Amino acid sequence: MRSRMFRDHALQALPALVAAGSLLLAWEIYCRFSGISETTLPAPSQVIQQAWLNREALWLNTVPTLRATLLGFSLSLVLAFLLSVLIDFSALMRRALFPIFIASQTLPLVAIAPLVVLWFGFGLLPKILLVALVTFFPMLVALAEGYASTEKEVEDLLASMGASRWRRFRLARLPSALPYFFAGLRISITYAVVAAIFAEYAGAARGLGIYMLNAKNNFRPDLVLAAVLVSSLLTLLLFSATWAVQRLAAPWIDGSSGRRI
Amino acid sequence: MTSPLLSLDRISLSYGDIDVLHDVSLDVMPGEFVSILGPSGAGKSTIFKLLTGAATARSGEIRFAGKQLAPTDRPFAFMPQRDALMPWRRIIDNTTLGLEVQGLPRKQARKRVEPLFQEFGLSGFEQHYPSALSGGMRQRAALLRTVVQDKPVLLLDEPFGALDALTRNQMQIWLEAMWLKHRWTIVLITHDVREAVMLSDRIHLLTPRPARVEQTIEVPLPRARFSHPGARAEAAIIETSILDFLLSPKIQQQEGQLP
């Protein structure tokens, strides 16, 4: 039973693996036969080899990035949740705050990252703040839309039972938002790693961002790509983690048709 | 003659410029199965909104057991049009919803509903999510959620409207049997004439908007109607006369004037 399930999953992943494998193969063949310099475009085999040889340095630089990502993302989740509740209960707060939230999304990261580093130093704090800045808005929108998606009949039913506004929020609006919440989580977790790397790029002692910058300055595109590989794996890992959390926390989402996201 | 349990006395209501209810008067006796029958958009659901407190009348009075209806702690358990089951709650926790809102701890609430699952044809499905249930089962779960609230009057808003014809029939037969056993006081909103005739003791017939009670029809047929020889034939005659009325030029003309 279990092995069969495993086989089914493996079969489903097959097309993706074949497609990715073909691209890598084409890249490898191009590098071998075009005579392009390896300081311009290294072959995938070389990237993987270098990644393995430099695994210790890569790992040392992955830990701070992962830490900044998770802390920043947690901060963003807490803020997004608190503010989403606030604007759900108060139309006035919604009108007052929403334009500011939207404006926060229009800030170009390229310009803002060095400034945040300038203001808050080379430590962990500016990274946390930048990750939070980038991921906060998608989470807030996901939650707000989720609350609004609550079936009117469910709220009417609760009202007919004499439930207060807060009770209706907790029993109907909050759980109704969960599918949207997890969709938002998957979108913003992919931004989170990128934002952390960007923040490190603007100035850090350690981290994948600064590792990439140093490798580039030393004319080692193979090491840049090795770090890119690590950051992609990191994002994929976090992305899959959101599915796992969803299955544990809200197993009903998979089963209810029309709500699948 | 006993006095009515619930009565609406010349209720009028409008949303903005649109008159929805105009001098609606009707009553419900204790233990009676009453239907409110009318064309779509006539304002049938608005009557329930008044009763549950979601809307307020412009004029008129609602009395329950002889006294004016209090704004809180209303004596109604309401079942909305679609089942409104919460997809994130297991069936057992959906059925305890009303008890939980009333303040009963979840464990005690579960104990109270558990014995009823058999009767509602839901035993074995306590721990399932609603998405795993058929349409008929979902409606039975929604009805279970309604009756365990232990309120004096059940308000059912087109409970079987979304079901396929066969399941709808099965549910009507089942509901009549349940009512014969428990003798709940039921107010049923429907636009299905046959459903009203087969289930109710009396039918309040509404006109198109602005709604009035045009006629109150006694249905003196023997129970249980679905299995009683002859009851179906008689029901068909009553059904035809109601349909004739609903399709009469006078009513049709009013419908044509709707905004």
Query: Which tens digits make up the pLDDT trace of B5-42?
Result: 999 999 888 888 888 888 889 999 999 999 999 887 77
Residues B138, B121 within the same domain: yes
pLDDT score, position A256 = 55
What are the residue ranges spanned by the domains of chain A?
44-254
Shortest distance between the Cα of A240 and any Cα of chain B, in A, equals 22
Residues B158, B146 within the same domain: no
Label residue A260 by pLDDT band (50, 70, 90).
very low
Least CB–CB distance from A157: residue in B73, B80, B87: B80
Domain count, chain B: 2
Residue B218 in tokens: 């006694």
CB contact under 8 A, B54 and A151: no
Count Cβ atoms below 10 Å from residue B31 Cβ, excluding itself. Answer: 14
Residues B136, B191 within the same domain: no
Residues B165, B236 within the same domain: yes
CB contact under 8 A, A252 and B87: yes
Which residues of chain A are within 8 Å of residue B76 when distances are taken between CB atoms? 160
Angle (nearest 5°) at CA A16 between A10 and A17: 70
Label residue B233 by pLDDT band (50, 70, 90).
confident
**Rounded Cα–Cα distance for residues B127 and B105 (Å):** 18
Q: What is the DSSP string of A77-121?
A: HHHHHHHHHHHHH-HHHHHHHHHHHHHHHTS-HHHHHHHHHHHH-
Residues of B with a Cβ under 8 Å from any A Cβ are 52-54, 72-74, 76-78, 80-82, 84, 86-88, 97-98, 100-102, 129-132, 149
CA-nearest of B64, B59, B37, B56 to B213 is: B37
Residues B129, B159 within the same domain: no
Asked if residue A166 lies in contact with residue A90, where contact means CB atoms within 8 angstroms, the answer is: no
Q: Which ipTM was obtained for this model?
A: 0.86
Task: Indicate the residue type of B86.
Answer: M
Of B102, B132, B151, which residue is a domain's last? B151
Shortest distance between the Cα of A237 and any Cα of chain B, in A, equals 27
Residues B234, B130 within the same domain: no
Read off the CATH number of the domain in which B199 is found: 3.40.50.300
pLDDT score, position A173 = 96
Of B118, B134, B151, which residue is a domain's last? B151
CA-nearest of A122, A114, A22, A131 to A68 is: A131
For B65, residues 6+ apart whose C-beta sits below 8 A from its C-beta are: B5, B75, B152
pLDDT score, position B1 = 58
Instruction: Give mean pLDDT, residues B182-188.
Output: 93
CB contact under 8 A, B101 and A163: yes
A108-138 pLDDT per residue, tens: 888 899 999 899 988 899 999 999 999 999 9
A198-236 pLDDT per residue, tens: 999 888 889 999 999 999 999 999 999 999 999 999 999
Q: In sequence order, which ranges of B33-164 are alpha helices (DSSP H)?
A: 44-52, 91-95, 97-101, 106-113, 135-147
Residue B217 scores a pLDDT above 70 = yes
Q: What does the mean pLDDT of chain A come to?
A: 91
Q: What does the mean pLDDT of chain B come to?
A: 88
Instruction: Give mean pLDDT, residues A30-37.
Output: 91
Q: Which domain holds residue B146?
A: 84-151
Q: In sequence order, which ranges of chain A are alpha helices (DSSP H)?
A: 2-34, 44-53, 55-89, 91-105, 109-120, 124-148, 152-160, 165-168, 174-176, 178-201, 208-217, 221-249, 252-255
pLDDT score, position B252 = 58
pLDDT score, position A60 = 95
Q: Is A16 helix (H, G, I), strand (E, B) or coil?
A: helix
CB contact under 8 A, A256 and B97: no
Residue A124 in tokens: 């962990």
Residues B190, B66 within the same domain: yes
Measured in residues, chain B has a length of 259
pLDDT score, position A219 = 92
Label residue B250 by pLDDT band (50, 70, 90).
low
Q: Where are the beta strands (DSSP E) in B87-241?
A: 153-157, 185-190, 202-206, 213-218
Percent of chain B with pLDDT over 90: 47
Helix (H) / strand (E) element for B53: namely none
> CATH for A44-254?
1.10.3720.10
Q: Is A220 helix (H, G, I), strand (E, B) or coil?
A: coil
pLDDT score, position B226 = 86
Residues B43, B8 within the same domain: yes
Question: Pairing relation of β-strands B153-157 and B76-79?
Answer: parallel
A156-207 pLDDT per residue, tens: 999 999 899 999 999 999 999 999 999 999 999 999 999 999 999 888 889 9
Asked if residue B203 lies in contact with residue B37, where contact means CB atoms within 8 angstroms, the answer is: yes
**Rounded Cα–Cα distance for residues A172 and A146 (Å):** 11
Exposed e or buried b per residue across A137-174, where buried means at least 16 C-beta atoms within 10 angstroms of its C-beta? bbbbbbbbebbeebbeebbbbbbbbbbeeeebbebbbb
Chain B residue at shortest CA distance from A170: B101
Identify the DSSP state of B134: -
pLDDT score, position A109 = 86
pLDDT score, position B254 = 54
Residues B97, B145 within the same domain: yes
Chain A residue at shortest CA distance from B91: A252
pLDDT score, position A255 = 61
